[in-house]
Chains A and B, each alone.
Chain A
Amino acid sequence: MTEVKKDDVVKILHTYPLCRKCDMSDEMKQEAMELCVTAAEKYADNYESVSRMIKETMDKKFGASWHTVVGEGYGFEITYQLKHLLYMYCAGNLAICIWKSA
């Protein structure tokens, strides 16, 4: 019985982008989240490419020195420029943290 229950729980696997922390302006946030989802979908098997794409696009759009961490498990302690941080989950198992620090 317990196993069946577990299975029931496991079945609901959410893949929608979930923003955990963000202090960006609404416009920037929307764009950044869209970018992260797009990158994660495009390079589903290569997290380095994901992070590279996110970083380079953000650099182009919002000025230099963006940093991106993409991974399934990591810990971080970062210093970011205010109003330029986004920490979100994506595709169910991916945590993406992007911030700007010049």
Chain B
Amino acid sequence: MPPSAPKKQSSKLSDNSKDISLTKTKTSRQDLMVGNLGPAGAAGDTDWYRPKTFLKPEDQLQLSEADLQEEIARVLMVHNTRIPDSLVEWSWKWREFVRLPDPPHLVTLLNISGTMLLKESEEARVQMAGGVISEFPICFFFAEMKAPNSIYTLHIVAEADDDPHADKEKGDGLTDELDEQEDEDDDTLIGDEDDDDAREADVSADKKKTDGPTEAEGELDEDEAEVARPKKVPNQFNFCERAALTYDNPMRDVTTQTVPPPTASFNGHVFQWIIFDEYQEDFLQQQKEKEKERKVAPMTTQPKKEDAKRKVQSEAMAGTFRMLQAAKTLERMVNQNIFDDISQDYRYWNDPSDEFKDGEGSLLPLWRFSYEKTKKHDVTDMCFNSRYYDFFAVSFGSMSFESTVASGTVCLFSLKNPSYPEWICPIESPVMCLDFSMQHPHLLVIGTMDGTVAVYNVMLPPTAPQYKSNDVVQKHGGIVWEVRWAPDTEEGNLAFYSVSIDGKINHWVLNQNDLGVTTVMTLYLDRDPIPGPDGTMITLKGCGTCIAFHPTDKNIFLVGTEEGTIYKCNTAYSSVYMKTYKEAHNMPVYRIVFNKYNSSIFASCSGDWRIKIWEDDRLEPLFMFDLGVPIGDVQWAPYSSTVLACVSNDGKVTVFDLNVNKYRPICSQAIVSKKRSKLTRLAFNQVLPFLVVGDDKGVVNTLKLSPNLRVRVKPTKKQLHLSQAELESLKLERLLSFVREPPVLTPPKDVAVTH
């Protein structure tokens, strides 16, 4: 488009804008023809071109003047023919075509988003408030398109600070004109050739087709006065960029190669005859196998022999128990045959020489009980069963700290079978003590070196204990030296006591599933506390080694300690001693036993070589025997109130009968070799006149007491109505009366036993 054309047109439009406001213009045919020659002709106004001569092509249609003068009307319609009407769309909702609203008669020719703001707008106000310098002229330029009327309006607002009023007047006038034109529904373009740049002119020229009006509108900037001292806006173009570059991580290629899966090659040929042949071969093979199966089938119908064998086996299994019983009986019979002479002696032999030895007796060795696996153990305790008098339990453990024995065993022996234990129970810690329950002869309680106590039912296989103290919260802190069954609790539960080297006497109750424990007594020494390694004061505890319960008053018990003190305690008071036999012995007390006939008399033995016999309320012993060697165990005879036996480290069993001799033993007999072994424990049989002694080689010797060692009281004529027990009691009482009276009498001096 040549720049001259729009200028002229726009000037013309501005001159007689009212005329052109009609949409109808007149163009002659000549103009149209001229228009064909060039774009300039399209302007439609021929006045300017008349002086010019046009070149005409030779084959142009020759028209007469009249034809040329004929007016052809061109109508410019508001209606844009390019916009489609009757637009429809398929509605899936209604299942039919629905009519769409007509698109707007709007053509966007130019859309420039300016950087300028309308002064009245909010943004402008904010900016002004922020401190725009008001001395510069502010121009607002915006194009507003009013779609329904297809009117393109271009508002050019130009304003200079020096002359705002003139512009405003001019703008007002133009605005009025514009309003009128819009009323007439015309496409108008009002162009105001102001002192602005050429771009505006171009814009107006581009809008020539629709002849839109251009309007310049000036406004007086009245708001400026209000902004007196605007703030300074920070210069948004004054900035600097900062950047940082970090080191790249070095790249490294890592590749691996795996071994390809193993392959093999295979080849073959396929022909119909090969397929056929192989089918035949396979079929034959199958036939053969079928025939074989047929032959095998009748064979398999005779498995009766195997079944019979199985039956026999199962019967044998069922009969195992009976077999065992029979074997046991047979074993006992064999033993009886082997040890026939011993059995005879055990029952019937009495040393005839006793008749001639006044006041002296002897011990006849009978069987030796031992178990192969406990040859290196010490016999730590023995206890006869209350129901079967010839049945006793032996615990194997260790008496010395240097011992390498790390495990223990409990064995039950019967006199009927001296060759092998009836019941063997290996235990991981050396067993130190045990006790059969009187009321429940099948229950055996044991105490071990690691402080555990456990209750076994000897009727069951010795696999697991019925009850076992909890290793974490319940166990004793050291060797359990003695366990004793206690009377049942009020609830009817079984209970037992244990005394340990940690100075505690515990009362254990066999609950439904576990053992309940109560510490009955802690053996605090009545010495001042000594400072411990970390400064705390430690109250010393006595190390309990043995315990004996009063035969009649079940609450009272005696405890012997390593210090040699004997405490008389009551289960009802856990903190005070009823009596303290201070320095009863100078070495650990190994055993305290109450007399079977007089409950106020008890004997104790110790490592200080002495046996002492005490009366309940006397702090001084009634009798004292010094054997010259540590005494491992002492027991009162069950049949006599004045007979007691002890075992000593030199392998001797010593028997006293106070009624016969108050100063010397009536029997002292070496049972085992003095050099090789020493005796540790002793137990009287409750029924028959024999005792068992254990040594430190795991051997239990059975010894029969000769008649002089079991002298019964012969009742006088006055005493005929009295029972044997009363007679025994009287015998002891009479003996004690000699010792006790007068009370000022000093006890007899120690008498060394001559060997």
Q: Is B283's CB within 8 Å of the partner chain A?
A: yes
Task: Give the residue of B265, B270, B275, B282 whose beta carbon is less than 8 angstroms from that of A75.
Answer: B270
List residues of chain A with CB within 8 A of the CB of B282: 14, 18
Binding-face segment, A29-37, A38-46, A54-62, A76-84: A76-84
**Would you call B321 an interface residue if the criterion is a C-beta within 8 Å of the partner chain's C-beta atoms?**
no
Identify the closest chain A residue to B267 (Cβ). Answer: A77
Q: Is B264 an interface residue (CB 8 A)?
A: yes
A97 contacts the other chain (Cβ, under 8 Å)? yes
Alpha-carbon separation in the docked complex, A87 to B266 (Å): 10
CB distance from A76 to the nearest CB of B (A): 6
> Judging by beta carbons under 8 Å apart, are A102 and B261 in contact?
yes
Pair count A-B, CB < 8 A? 68
> Residue-by-residue, is B248-274 near A (CB-CB < 8 Å gives 1, otherwise 0)?
000000000000011111111111100
Which A residue sits closest to B281, measured CB to CB?
A: A18
- With both chains docked as a complex, state the minimum distance between the C-beta of A77 and any C-beta of chain B, in angstroms: 4
Q: Is the pair A76, B267 in contact by a Cβ cutoff of 8 Å? A: yes
Decide if A101 touches B269 in the complex (CB within 8 Å). no
Residue of A nearest to B264 (CB): A82
Check if A18 sits within 8 Å of B266, measured CB to CB: no
Question: Chain B residues near A74 (CB, 8 Å)?
Answer: 269-270
Question: Please, could you name 15 A-B residue pairs with CB atoms under 8 Å apart, sorted by A?
Answer: A12-B283, A14-B280, A14-B283, A18-B278, A18-B279, A20-B268, A71-B270, A75-B270, A77-B265, A77-B266, A78-B265, A79-B264, A82-B261, A89-B279, A99-B266
**B-side interface mostly:** mixed
A77 neighbours in B (Cβ, 8 Å): 265-267
Given contacts A14-B279, A18-B279, A92-B275, are A87 and B268 in contact (CB under 8 A)? yes
Shortest Cβ distance from A12 into B: residue: B283
Known: A20-B278, A82-B263. A97 touches B283 (CB 8 A): no
Interface residues of B (CB under 8 A from A): 261-272, 275, 278-280, 282-283
Question: In whole angstroms, how far apart are the Cα atoms of A73 and B269 in the complex?
Answer: 7
Closest CB in chain A relative to B687 CB, distance in Å:
76
Please, how many angstroms separate the alpha-carbon atoms of A18 and B672 in the complex?
88
Q: Closest Cβ of chain A: how far from B273's Cβ, in Å? A: 10
Interface residue A72 (Cβ < 8 Å from any Cβ of B): yes
A69 to chain B, nearest CB (A): 8
Inter-chain contact A93/B275, CB cutoff 8 Å: yes
Complex CA distance for A93 and B272, rounded to whole angstroms: 6
Task: Tell me whether B279 and A80 are in contact (CB under 8 A).
Answer: no
B270 touches A79 (CB 8 A): no
Interface residue? A53 (CB, 8 A): no
> Distance (Å) between the CB of B659 and the closest chain A CB?
94
Query: In the assembly, what is the distance between CA of A14 and CA of B261, in Å?
Result: 37
Q: Assess whether A95 is interfacial by the CB under 8 Å rule.
A: yes
Contact A80:B268 (CB < 8 A) given known A14-B279, A18-B279: no
Q: Which residues of chain B have C-beta atoms less than 8 A from A80's C-beta?
A: 263-266
Closest B residue by C-beta to A75: B269
Q: Are B270 and A73 closer than 8 Å at their CB atoms?
A: yes
Q: Judging by beta carbons under 8 Å apart, are B266 and A81 in contact? A: no
User: When A18-B278, A18-B279, A93-B275 are in contact, do A101 and B263 touch as well, CB less than 8 Å?
Assistant: yes
Q: CB-CB < 8 A to B265: which residues of A? A: 77-80
Instruction: Give, as a whole number of angstroms, the nearest-CB distance from A87 to chain B.
Output: 7
Residues of B within 8 A of A14 (CB): 279-280, 282-283
When distances are taken between beta carbons in the complex, the residues of chain B under 8 Å from A102 are 261
CA A102 – CA B261 in complex, angstroms? 9
Question: Residue on B with the closest CB to A23?
Answer: B264
Known A-B contacts A12-B283, A14-B283; A95 and B270 likewise in contact (beta carbons under 8 Å):
yes
In the complex, A71→B268 CA distance in Å? 13
- A73 with B283: in contact, given A82-B261, A82-B262, A82-B264 (CB under 8 Å)? no
Interface centre among B272, B278, B279, B283 (most CB of A within 10 A): B279
Q: How many angstroms between the C-alpha atoms of A18 and B263 in the bound complex?
A: 24
**Which residues of chain A are within 8 angstroms of B261 by Cβ–Cβ distance?**
81-82, 102
B280 to chain A, nearest CB (A): 8
Can you add 9 more A-B contacts, CB < 8 Å, to A12-B283, A73-B270, A77-B265?
Answer: A73-B272, A75-B270, A76-B267, A78-B266, A82-B261, A87-B266, A89-B279, A99-B266, A101-B263
